[in-house]
Amino acid sequence: MAFAAGSAHGLSYVAESTFGTTPATPSMVALRHTSCGLQLTKDAFQSAELRSDRMIAGFKQGQNRCSGDIGIEFSWKEFDPFIAAAMFGSWSSNVVKCGTTVSSFTLERAFEDITQYEVFKGCMVNTWSLSIKPNAMVTGSFGITAKEVVAMTGTPLDAEITASQTELPYDGFSGTIKEGGSALGLVTGVDISLQNNLEALFALGSKNAAGITAGRSNITGTVSVFFQDVTMRNKFVNETASSLEIVLGNGTAKSYTILLPRIVYSGADNAVSGEGPITLNMPFTALVDSSVGSNMQITRTAS
């Protein structure tokens, strides 16, 4: 008897032209991932009826909620459709900015060792995070909110899935970081998180969501550096707006430049926990910049 194992888990996607509707003959594309928590959960409620025997008379399952995180190691071109969807934008001349363009996908989880497939429709990107650390791959996740999930079947949507990209993930050794327009040295880590505050909407007559609405584009993060002087700390103390530019790759071929053109720091933690080096941990919020027209801009450089 076969048992489902993560080593045989597959994940694929196709863009939807109409929200919540899978194309009639979908050409699925494999998606590289390190984990997948996409699943169906249900609300529940029980009867408030009072009985002389103290028993509960009724219990019902409520609304279907479909969501979960997809863990990734960030690599060239693999996640471009999901980056654009997370930013509610679209790639134009290899640049994408946060905007108001809505994108949705159909995602399919494949449990190949037991030949079962689970389809999620109307998938929108609620969150996107990246973590850049020394001596490690650049990791992250996409948080998905979906309209509905289809019961598992033994037949996939597409028997010939387009293969993933094959480039190696980015790492903490390559690339550069600029803060306020100047190279920032001795960085111990950068974390960036985008939150779209998606909300599934429900109406009478169906357990599935009728639609999904988006809140504001909220980008936050943390820059961590070895504590050398007060230059960075004073930007927090004086509430001085700055900027952050991160290049993943060598900057000339198959690389990404992530620009947060206007950030404000909300802390400068330099706590001591032992005899080792002291780090300065500075959380920030990214704001819209009038010259860029966005709170974040990503540029991809092919060659």
Q: Summarize pLDDT for 176-235 with one digit per residue, the tens.
A: 999 999 988 788 899 999 999 999 988 888 888 889 999 999 999 999 988 888 888 999
Tell me if 9 sits within 8 A of 108, measured CB to CB: no
Q: Is residue 217 part of a domain?
A: yes
Q: Is residue 52 part of a domain?
A: no
Q: Summarize pLDDT for 243-276 with one digit per residue, the tens.
A: 999 999 877 789 999 999 999 999 988 888 888 8
Q: Number of folded domains in the chain?
A: 1
d(CA 129, CA 266) in angstroms, rounded, equals 19
Q: Is residue 30 part of a domain?
A: yes
Mean pLDDT score of the chain = 93
Instruction: Identify the bridge partners of residue 71 per DSSP, sorted by sequence position.
Output: 35, 141
Report the chain's C-alpha Rg in angstroms.
22
Q: Summarize pLDDT for 128-140 with one digit per residue, the tens.
A: 999 999 889 999 9
Q: Is residue 49 part of a domain?
A: no
Q: Is residue 146 part of a domain?
A: yes
Residue 82 has pLDDT above 80, yes or no: yes
Q: Is residue 37 part of a domain?
A: yes
Q: Residue 1's pLDDT is what?
A: 62
* pTM score, whole prediction: 0.93
* Cα distances (angstroms) measured from residue 100 to each of 85, 196, 216, 255: 10, 11, 10, 25
Tell me if 135 sits within 8 A of 62, measured CB to CB: no
Mean pLDDT value across residues 72-87: 97
Dihedral of CA atoms 178, 235, 138, 197 in degrees, nearest 10, equals -120
d(CA 233, CA 211) in angstroms, rounded, equals 44
Q: How far is CA 146 from the centre of its chain?
A: 14
Q: Name which of 106, 63, 60 is nearest 210 in CA terms.
A: 63
Q: Residue 206's pLDDT is what?
A: 87
Q: Residue 114's pLDDT is what?
A: 92
Q: Domain containing 134: what range?
A: 8-41+62-301
Q: Is residue 56 part of a domain?
A: no
